[in-house]
Chain A
Amino acid sequence: MTALVEVENLTIRFRTDEGVITVVENVSFSLNKGEVLGLVGESGSGKSVTAKALMHLNAGNVLYEPGSKITLHSGSGPIDVLSLASPAELSVVRGRAVSMIFQEPMASFAPAITIGAQMVEQLLIHTDMGKRAARKLSIEMLDRVGIKEPDKRIDQYAFELSGGMRQRAMIAMALSTKPALLIADEPTTALDVTIQAQVIELMKGLVDEFGMGILFITHDLGVIAQTADRVAVMYLGRIMETGPVRNVIRSPAHAYTRGLINALPKLDDLDAPLTPIPGDIPSPLERPSGCVFHTRNPELAPGSRYEREVPPLSQIGPGHYAALFPEDVQQQTAQGEAVTS
C-alpha cells in the first residue's frame, strides 16, 4: 500500500493572551489509500487541530514547530502542506485533494443559498467542469448518498432537509471533487443513532468504491470500532496508543485506552460498573511533565519514570504501538495474550 499522507513530528502551539500553549506535541502517523484511520480522544486532545493542520486551516495565532512535516501524496508528486502559503497553492489541500466534513451539518451549509448552488460553486472552483456538467454531477452524487428525488432536493435550502439528509448532502458535496483524502470531524456526533448507522454504512461503502483515505475523528470508540481499520488514541496532544482497531480495542496496552473503554456503558453487560478516569483534564497552561497522562493514571506508583520522562512509542505487536517504556511492554503483552487466548 502507498502512503497518502505522512505526518511527522507534528507539534502545534497557539499564542494566547495567557501565553503559548501546546496543543499537539510530536505526533506522527500515516494514512494509506483506501484506509480509514480513526482519531479518538476527549475534548482538548488536539484531534481537530491535527486534522485542520492537514488543510492548513488553523487560526492565525498558530505556531507550527520547526521540524513538523505533513506530506500529501496525491497524483502530481508530494506536497509539503505546511509550506503552502498563497491561496492558489492552498486550494489544492482545501477542497481539491482534501475534503472535510464538519460536525454540525446545519452550520456547514449557507442558509440563504440552495444546496445545489453551493455544490456547483465548489465544483466550478476546484475542477474545470462547466456549470451544466457540475449540476449533473451534483445530482448524481446526491443520488449516490441515498437522497431520494435528488433533482428536486438540489434546489432546496439546508433548512428543508432533515439532519441525516443534510449530513449526507455534506458528504455528497465533499466527495464530488473526488478527493484523495477525506477528513471527517465528528460527522455523526450530532445525529441520532439510527441515522448515524446509515451514515457509517454509507461512508464505508464509499471508501470501497472511490478508494480514498479517510481520517475519521470522533470521541466515540463504538463508532471507531465499526468504521476504522486503524486507530490512534490521543490525549492532550500526544498519541497514547495506535494500531489495528481490533488489537487496540481488544487488548489495549495503554492505561488511557483502557480507561476510555471502561468508562463506556456496554449493552451486553448492564451490571458492569462505569469507571470514570480519575481526575480532570489539566489546564493547557499547566501541561504535565513526562507522560501527559501520569496525573490521572491510576496504575502508576508515585515517583515513577512517567512523571519525569516522556515515554517513547514502543511496539506492542504488529503495527501496534503505545506510549510506554519498554520495561512495561513485556508485562502488557503477557496480559494481552492472556486476554486473547
Chain B
Amino acid sequence: MSAPLIKVDNLSIHFPLGRRIIGKPDVLKAVDQVSLSIPKGGFFGLVGESGSGKTTLGRALLRAAPITGGSVRYDDGEVAYDVATLGKAELKDYRSRAQLIFQDPYAALSPRMTVRDIIAEPLELMKLTKSRAETDERVREIASMCRLNLEHLRRFPHAFSGGQRQRISIARALVCRPKFVVADEAVAALDVSIQADILNLLKSLKRDLDLTILFISHDLSVVAHVCDEVAVMYHGVLKEQAPTRQLFANPREAYTRRLLSAIPSLDPDQKLSDREVAVE
C-alpha cells in the first residue's frame, strides 16, 4: 500500500451546547478520537447514518470545521502540512490542493453565473492563472474531462439536468488541480441511472488526474462499488476500517452487520426480516 496522503490521529471535534455560568458547558462530541489514514490514490469510503459525524470529519480534513483535539497530517510528496495549525499562506495553498464536491447540485451552483464563470471562479479567487486566456484554457480542459461541451459553458445552470449540474460541480472542484477531493454525498440527490454515470465519471477522473477521493455516503451499496477501502462511523466514533471486499464479506462489528442487513434486496424473496433487522 502506498504512503498515506491524509493521516488522522485521535481527531476530536466537539461543539459546546449552550453556556453555563458555573462550570463547563455540555459538549456534543461530533467526532470523538478518530484515527484513520487515507492512502495516496485511494478511493476511500466513509459511511454512517445521519448524525454519525461523517460530514463533520470530512470538513475537518479540509479545515472547514473547528478541530478540538488530535491531528490531521497531509503529505502529497511536494508539501506536508499539519492541517490543524495551518498559517494563512499555507491555508491558501492547501485550499488549492484539497477540494469539496457538494451533495446538492441544485443548491451548489449560483443561478446568476454562467457555467464558464462558475468553473473559473476558484482559479480567479486563488489567482492560479496569469491571464484570462490561460483561465479559459484550464476551464475548457476540465470541462471536456467532465463531458461538458463548449456550448454548455455559455449557459446558466437552470438549463441543465441534475446529472449535468453535478458534472459542472465536479469540474469546479477539480479546476484548480487538487490532489485530495472530499465528495460529500455527491450522488445522494441523483436518480439511479445518473448516479451510475457520475460514479463512473468519478472513477475515471480519479485515474486520469491521480486524485485521492474521500467519498462520504450513507449508501453502502454505492460505496461497495466504487471504494477500495471503507470506514464505518457511528455516533462520532470510528467503528471499523477495512478494505472494501473484506468489510463486506466479513464485517467484524455488529453495527456494520446491521447496516448491511438493512439494505433492501432486489430479490423479492429475500425478505428484510430474514436478515436480522434489529429494531431499537
Contacts and interface: CB of A to CB of B under 8 A. Distances in A.
A226 B193 contact: no
A219 B185 CA distance: 17
Contacts of A220: 192, 264
A20 interface: no
Interface string A240-281: 000001100100000000011111111100100111110011
B263 A163 contact: no
Interface stretch (B71-79, B91-99, B137-145, B159-167): B159-167
B205 interface: no
Contacts, number: 120
Interface stretch (A8-16, A85-93, A96-104, A190-198): A190-198
A257 to B, nearest CB: 12
A197 B49 CA distance: 13
Interface string B216-235: 00111110110000000000
Interface residues of A, number: 40
Q: Is the interface of B mostly helix, strand, loop or mixed?
A: helix
Interface string A106-129: 000000000000000000000000
Q: Which of A200, A265, A266, A275 is packed against the most chain B CB atoms within 10 Å?
A: A265
A264 B261 CA distance: 17
Contacts of A223: 264
A265 B221 contact: yes
Interface string B256-280: 0011111111111101110001110
Given A222-B264, A225-B267, A274 B225 contact: yes
A263 B192 contact: yes
B263 A222 contact: yes
Nearest to A221: B266
Interface residues of B, number: 43
Nearest to B225: A265
Contacts of A194: 49, 258-259, 262, 277-278
B224 A43 contact: no
21 contacts: A42-B192, A42-B194, A43-B191, A193-B264, A194-B259, A196-B262, A198-B279, A200-B272, A219-B191, A222-B264, A226-B268, A226-B271, A246-B268, A260-B193, A263-B192, A263-B193, A264-B196, A267-B263, A270-B224, A274-B225, A276-B200
> 7 closest pairs, A vs B, by CB?
A222-B264, A276-B197, A274-B196, A277-B193, A192-B49, A276-B196, A42-B191
Given A219-B191, A246-B269, 8 more contacts: A192-B50, A194-B258, A194-B278, A195-B49, A265-B199, A273-B200, A276-B194, A276-B200
